[in-house]
Structure 1
Amino acid sequence: MTEQTKKLYDLAQPVFAVAPMLDWTDRHCRSYHRVLSRNTLLYTEMITTGALIHGDRDRHLNFDRSEQPVACQLGGSDPKALAECAKMIEEWGYDEVNLNVGCPSDRVQNGSFGACLMLQPQLVGECIAAMKDAVSIPVTTKCRIGVDEQEPEEALRALVDEVLKAGTDAIWVHARKAWLQGLSPKENRDVPPLDYELVYRLKEEHPDVFIGINGGIATLEETETHLGKVNGVMMGRAAYHSPMLLASVDRRIYGADTPDISAEEAVNAYIPYIVKELEKGTKLSQITRHMLGTYQGVPGARHFRRIMTTEAVKTGAGIEVVEQAMAAVSQPKVGGFGADEPEGIGATAF
């Protein structure tokens, strides 16, 4: 555990985190985000207990130490298995282990974990307690405000009461319900209405507990507003699609007396990592797919993305592709892909 993580949940300072996102927040994504912000708390994708107990642990758990502070999110509902996996995570060197009580996908429903656990708060408490007994790193909970026909005020409080009794070190709340039937995982990120006020009330009721908020947060201005009410903000898709947003986090959220890193500086700082991974046999596209939004809104950004998406997938693609893409931004063409573009990233970019 890093010294920074030991202090994360003592309520002494706000915490800004990038949410765990399946297929997105892999080790390459986290390594790039760390170039942009020294202090942001990063999360792995959700890893199931079955994958760790029966699968390739190296593939699931290996990470670059430069990523720290980094938390590993677990999916599961068996206290014994979760405790076993939490111990693995601690031994691997992660700074925190987090229990997923919010994912509504068919995969987690079939395994009766994730958002399904909102219906079994006592079991969630048993899971957290077992994990706390197994490790010394922080054990945290990420939940929804309810599922299906649950009344959110009652469902959230029932869950919170159980995990607090079990000793959870922090509670991250995605401020939407999840609908286990009738909505896709994507729709569950947008369709159920947000209820930030409920999370604010939860914090008022538990002034000595770390409460973080997640869901629909897209800017640092919104982040600063939330931090007037709760202890932490977790940002998901906005941070992924517009990674340069993270370049201001250390200064604006953590009060660091350092200049924001520029897009060019960020890419140049990331190149040694790319080279190292290429030497290990990692495909360039697996690394650079997380960088596509770096120059969002800048002349030449579309050309940058086109080169990174079409050239990086080719057999033998190397660092020269990144250099070519950067040159397209510094010397954009007139018209076509190099032209100035409206704010936002086109639908074909991701």
Structure 2
Amino acid sequence: MPPTTDNRPALLLAMGPGIADRLLHPRHHARLTALTRTDPHLVGHDLADPPPGVAAALAEAEILLTCWGATPLTEEVLAAAPRLRAVVHAAGSVKHHLTPACWERGIAVSSAAAANALPVAEYTLAAVLFAGKRVLHSARRYRVLRQDHDWLRELDGAGNYRRTVGIVGASRVGRRVLELLRPFDWTVLLHDPYLEEAEARALGAHLTPLEALCARSDVVSVHAPQLPTTRHLIGARELAAMPDGATLVNTSRGSLVDEAALLAELTSGRLSAVLDVTDPELPPRDSPLYDLPNVLLTPHVAGSHGTELYRMADHALDEVERLVHGEPFAEPVHAADLTRLA
């Protein structure tokens, strides 16, 4: 009998050391091997100078399944992958490893940015609600007092009923935050230069100029992409416009906020902040951000971690399955979009 033809496309995992072990559950291994010709335990950490086994797999690969730490796909790397036709990225931004050579060759690209947006939006929702309830303040005071106290008087004016939240950027995360805010009794303002008023209304928000948004919001949450045009988008003027006692939430990138101007407002005690990102990403050891009582500082944990990585893997494998069945990606990335994507 003639040998059976295996029409499954060849796939190679390409990501940083240790990432695949955290990203892929055994059920993902089983699904990958059912859909494609792959060794789920073979991972290309360095496609620019791969060991023989990875080089052989790269030469046959029609699909790369990438994640954090993936090698930039330069002309030289692509020359070693003559059959490559698609890159499925099991994380958010593709800017770190996709090069102009990929678009010139017409390689199809998908990203799990939408899947990664959900935990960031969930973190943001918690930050917004905790800010309204003044949780950071009351927790710190409770720890100090350790006795009966007139909390009704001290927290007079706190709460989440009919407050105003300003969302800066209708990105994937920003839109997820808007969606999660809908059940609550908040007035929602939105600033995004690419949006029309009708689109903002459809998202449940009022389109508002940035400085006016800051001036009217009890909580301002930043969700714009990191681009040259968004550096210090929230600067001294925007921070000064925020009402006394307002909170800034940043889960986007630290460079979007003028940190020197923010520190001046925080050390005065006029504003509070929830910062999952800073500029630089790791603040200096002597940064006041670590100790200020009105700052909740976390080490870039709003995005996918732990079991949430499996959501991105599920999304990526859904895209691989669409490709196998000749269907278009649900979340394609196009070169024309890169100028306004994170």
- Which has the higher Rg, Structure 1 or Structure 2? 2
Q: TM-score, normalised on structure 2?
A: 0.34
Query: Going by fraction, where is helix more abundant, 1 or 2?
Result: 1
Task: Compare relative contact order (CA 8 Å, sep 6+) and give the higher one, 1 or 2.
Answer: 2
Q: TM-score, normalised on structure 1?
A: 0.33
